[in-house]
Amino acid sequence: MMSQSTTVVLKDNWRFSKEVKEDAFSVDFDASGWEKVSVPHDWAIYGPFDKEWDKQVAAIEQNGEKIPTEKTGRTGALPHIGTGWYRNTFSVPEFKKGKKAVLVFEGAMSEPQVFLNGKKIGEWGYGYSYFYIDITESLKSGSENVLAVKLTNLPFSSRWYPGAGLYRKVSIVVREQESFAQWGTFITTPEMRGNNAVVDIKAEFHGRNVSMVTHIKDADNKIVATQKGAETADGKLHQIISVAQPHLWSPETPYLYKAVIRLFAADGTLKDEQNIKFGIRFIKYEPHKGFSLNGKVTKFKGVCLHHDLGPLGVAVNKAALRRQLTILKDMGCNAIRSSHNMPSFEQLELADEMGFMFLAESFDEWAKPKVKNGYHRFFEQYAEKDIVNLVRATRNHPCIVMWSSGNEVPDQYGAEGLTRAKFLQDVFHREDPTRPVTVGMDQVKQTMASGFGSLLDIPGLNYRVHLYEEAYKAFPQGFILGSETASTVSSRGIYKFPVVQQKEKQYDDLQCSSYDLEACSWSNVPDEDFVLQDDKPWVIGEFVWTGFDYLGEPTPYDEKWPSRSSYFGISDLAGLPKDRFYLYRSRWNTKDKTLHILPHWNWKGREGEITPVFVYTTYDSAELFVNGKSMGVQKKNNSTPQNRYRLMWNDVKYEPGVIKVIAFDSYGKKAAESEVKTAEEPYKIVLEADRRTIDADGEDIAYITVSVVDKNGVTCPLADNEMKFKVSGAADYRAACNGDATSLQVFHKDTMKLFSGKLVVLVKSNKKIGPINIEVSAHNLRTGNLRISAKQI
């Protein structure tokens, strides 16, 4: 009989509590009164918002602050501080005497202590790290087991919302004694030999007198190569396999192969099997030329992403991640930086499938602190182990093209910092010799003087656009990466006058202007990075801060309540595009045309006042009309960075009606047009789903955009009506989000106000098959109804 490893995901049957005794690990402890939850789970996302949860008095050195001040929304103003307990009673029929088992945690926030059947079996420090524990001696065969996990979130341990709980999957892997090691197989594609790709497989294993057989399958599940037998060297089975005329992986063609790798005992019995998806692709970083993928020079058009998923908190959900990447793909984005944490397995799987290059990051702190209870407490004991687990667990993903060992670490100063940078980089190289390592550096002058930047494989500059030329000359690598760029701030649908470029600008309503000319003291607007990316071949790309708004870090309103989430996003916390989305799209998306007008045209009380009109477009020139009257033709030019990438009519005076733009192609012929109308009073609610069919798996989510239109169907950009949500059928109401960084309405309640005329409702499948009815109502408005469906997987 064939035998192989079995994975049991511990999703259901969990009990959770924040108010328990210290004997909650005991087998006899009665947890029947605890809350029933499924994992992944974030205990803090349900609120309420309160500035007292993790109020920090600090000077944020990364932002150039010298004097400590009160930071009220820095970590999201959600109740993540404290101790939480999880318990699960389960059995594993696959586990028998003579087998082995490991317990795998993909993310536990934070400082997990793990107990099995009343006995402590392990612990970890870093809440972002994947880790596993050998439970062979503690797991009972043929009877129930009790797993208990204690998590502790200290105050002052984060600079953003870290979430709380078992926020990624927990699973048990059962294997034969003769088996592949956990995360011990490494697949690389080092070169082409003629028309054949070389696939190199190294697999760590347990046992003696074993053999390995590998079948490579293409995307149609057809076997395209087979290798029987393997050399054994350094405790690993090693195979070299040739794949003829390979399909190469890239963001444009994210082609995936699958390696079916089998381990056999001496008598021919199958002992273990791995199915590993991988891509055949070739990366190279060259002085003065930059980064190339499959022989083609490629620039990173990337964004940074924190790990929270807005109204879902940090509990990982593949549908939510897929929606994010779908939005980014439409923008023309080709790369993701997981900042400042280790990415989820689900995010990497989607990046492989959908075509995104990935900068996988590890730490926000090394040995020197940024916050009182940050990672520096664990650095000496855990740093190497955390990197080993990061690399081994994820290195087979073709999307990963570089690693980051740190972000703006205070260790950039001093000789100890150089020692730590080299140590960490060496660990990455030992575990994965195929990919380079970077650090996001904000103290660029210091790293030029000390040699810190010179020892890195890739010098990453966070902002500091004025130092790019100097850094390029000072560093020996011959190229610069914009590892974190822009930090422009804006609120979706909010516009401020007069329209001027400025930094650290604050307003009484705690919003930021969507004319995209406001930034922070240390940062800049997008156009300044565009110039460097377009004009300097030695600048290999950028990762914009950030692709989406995230919970916490409400700069420039760190000290103002009730701001509790960021303004940096190209899209807001609900995933709704801000105007800035179209600025990036006009430059990054080379397949589709962009023609976007801002602002909205509802300015009662501003009649006759100057109300500039900007157009973000693929086209180089366009003509603007206000109620049929021409405001002239504007053409992109190099007089300023803004004039190079935006079309701007700065002297338009507001009058209600219609603004229309006609864009011209390179021959001066009309190519496209768009218009914005003044809306009348709100009349009815309109619903639009991102997908009309979802999977009936209990996990899939449809995102329903809710807006209000007038009697003529014109969207009402100022509507702020309170909406009420009702979902029936094969799905349940899960959450809502309006993208307002100052809103204290909790996400899981069935009511929420529109912000700038819109919000998003999340509808989650409930394992039933059939129709899903969504109803959204509000006082004095015609109700919005929508029907979608859930299908069998």
3-state helix, strand, coil in the chain (%, to 5): 15, 40, 50
B/e letters for 740-751, b = 16+ CB within 10 Å, e = fewer, are bbbbebbbeeee
- β-pairing, 458-462 vs 437-441, is parallel
Supply 382's token pair: 């855990």
Give, as one character, the DSSP assignment of residue 327: H
| 356 touches 363 (CB < 8 A) | no
Residue whose pair of structure tokens reads 């209600």 in the numeric block: 656
**Dihedral of alpha carbons 162, 51, 440, 375, sign:** negative
Mapping DSSP to helix (H, G, I), strand (E, B) and coil, where does residue 387 land? helix
Report the candidate in 278, 284, 380, 401 with the shortest Cα–Cα distance to residue 338.
Answer: 401
| 399 touches 352 (CB < 8 A) | yes
Tell me whether residue 408 is one of the annotated catalytic residues: yes
Give, as one character, the DSSP assignment of residue 545: E
The active-site residue, picked from 111, 178, 408, 528, is 408
Report the candidate in 589, 586, 656 with the shortest Cα–Cα distance to residue 622.
Answer: 586
| 579 touches 572 (CB < 8 A) | no
User: Residue 422: phi, psi to the nearest 5?
Assistant: -70, -40
CA distance to 169, 308, 314, 403, per residue, from 131 (Å): 11, 20, 18, 19
Element (H, E) at 346: helix 345-354
Q: What angle do CA 367, 371, 375 make, to 5 degrees?
A: 40
Mapping DSSP to helix (H, G, I), strand (E, B) and coil, where does residue 20 land? coil
Mapping DSSP to helix (H, G, I), strand (E, B) and coil, where does residue 666 land? coil
Tell me whether residue 609 is one of the annotated catalytic residues: no
Q: How many CB atoms lie within 10 A of CB 578?
A: 26
The active-site residue, picked from 176, 178, 484, 553, is 484
Q: Which residues are annotated as catalytic? A: 408, 484
